[in-house]
Amino acid sequence: MFDTPHPVFVLAAVALLGTVGLEYGIGGAVLATSTVPQPLDTVLDDTPVSLTPSPTDTTSPANTVASPRERESKPPGVRMDVGRVESCGSTCRDVTAHLYNEETVDLTNVEVYTTIYAGDEIVWVDAERAGTIAAGDVYTTTKRVNVGPSEISKIHSNGGSVTVETVIEFDQGSTVVTENVDVV
Looking at the domain assignment, is residue 5 inside a domain? no
Q: Render pLDDT for 85-141 as a digit per residue (tens, 0 to 9).
A: 687 776 666 767 788 899 899 999 999 887 778 899 887 778 889 999 999 999 887
* Lowest-confidence segment of 47-56, 63-72, 79-88, 92-101 by average pLDDT: 47-56
Looking at the domain assignment, is residue 52 inside a domain? yes
Domain extent for 122: 11-182
User: How far, in Å, are 33, 56, 101, 151 from residue 116 at the CA level?
Assistant: 11, 14, 24, 10
Q: How many domains does the chain have?
A: 1
Looking at the domain assignment, is residue 112 inside a domain? yes
Residue 17: CATH number of its domain: 2.60.40.10
- Is the pLDDT reported for residue 174 higher than 80? yes
Looking at the domain assignment, is residue 54 inside a domain? yes
Instruction: State the pTM of this model.
Output: 0.57
- Nearest Cα to Cα of residue 172 among 47, 22, 69: 69
